[in-house]
Amino acid sequence: MVYLPDPKKMKKDDDPAGRDLIMVANYNIRVEVHPPGSKFRPDNEEGIKVLYGRVTDIDGEWKPLGNKKFPKRYSLTTKDKYLSVSETTGAVILRLKHNGELKRQWCPQENVPVKNLFDMNDVGLGTLDLKFIRVKDTWWGADFKDAHFFNMTGFHFRFLENKQNIAHMQFWIAGPNVDCRLHDHSDNSFKELHTCLSQGSSEHNETCQGGMWAPKEIYYNEPLDEIKRLRDKCSRDRHKGCQGACLEEYLEHCPLQPLQEHGRIWHADHYGQTVYRKNKTVSYPGHTWIAGPGPYVDVWMALEFDGKLQL
């Protein structure tokens, strides 16, 4: 749990508050809180992800939940020398900076590098021991059996003053041709976005690259079982090299390169307002990450934003 000051309560000339969190796939990830009306300078080719508030560059406003729906994608990098923080909200951001190591892709036989940077020695708590766990060994993942599919839970971000949840950050690895299974978050209330850290099938065309899949517009409001039926028309056995060409008949695909993020998948009304189910969870169509033919693994970061927080 990472408790953060509310940026709205900071003064413009206050120094930003920040802490290093973790290194994953050779990206150092840091959280920072910037006061309203301030500016900051991004490092070259650094990814900036807004968790709360607004940040503006020469191309427009950056929001936590993006501006457009799936299958649009965005780069978290900017060519601007300075980014301006909202005068009213301030901003909470993640900074994703590559550490300079030459290696950017990993075979299934290799360990994707992880280093815990969240040092709490100053308060006697040491460092966290975070690591990737095979999904089949989790309480919910027995059905994945021998799939090369790993998860690492990460950090929960909350405001210190009122303990308001902002987002949960976690990480995933999927080996060649791994299908992470269609799901619709029917028992969770969050708004989820994913950022690629390593594309395992970059040598293939985009249809075959790893990324998120969600229904085409005509199927977007169909129940999960119907989306699964459509997905099953593309036999995994008959398309081991690349399932994309078949899947694109029914599903939209958003392949991602490092530091790219896909647009919103959850349902929204004609006014862009989030649709909720009767059980108060955020309404989603069925969607899944499917890795390409490789030969490397996909590595990505998931951010699960609080389903009711106005972002």
Q: Is residue 202 a contact partner of residue 196, using CB atoms and an 8 Å limit?
A: no
* Any domain includes 235: yes
- Establish if 250 belongs to a structural domain: yes
pLDDT in 10s for each residue of the chain, 311 residues: 899 999 999 999 999 999 999 999 999 999 999 999 999 999 988 999 999 999 999 889 999 998 889 999 999 999 899 999 999 999 999 999 999 998 999 999 999 999 999 886 665 555 678 999 999 999 999 999 989 999 999 999 999 999 999 999 999 999 999 999 999 999 889 999 999 999 999 999 999 999 999 999 999 999 999 999 999 988 665 556 788 888 999 999 999 999 999 999 999 999 989 999 999 999 999 999 999 999 999 999 999 999 989 88
- 72 falls within a domain: yes
For residue 75, the model assigns a pLDDT of: 96
Q: Is 261:194 a contact under the CB 8 Å cutoff?
A: yes
Number of domain units in the chain: 1
pLDDT reported for residue 173: 98
For the chain, how many helices (H) and strands (E)? Answer: 2, 20
Q: Locate all alpha helices (DSSP H) within 112-179, ordered by sequence.
A: none
| Domain range enclosing 67 | 2-306
Q: Has residue 20 been placed in a domain?
A: yes
Residue 271, amino acid: Y
Domain assignment present for 311: no
What are the DSSP E strand ranges found in the chain? 2-4, 17-24, 27-34, 39-40, 47-53, 55-57, 60-62, 73-75, 83-85, 91-98, 114-116, 133-134, 149-159, 165-174, 190-198, 211-215, 251-255, 260-262, 288-290, 298-306
Extended strands (E) in 161-267: 165-174, 190-198, 211-215, 251-255, 260-262
The CATH number assigned to the domain holding 264 equals 2.60.120.990
pLDDT value, residue 238: 55
Give this prediction's pTM: 0.94
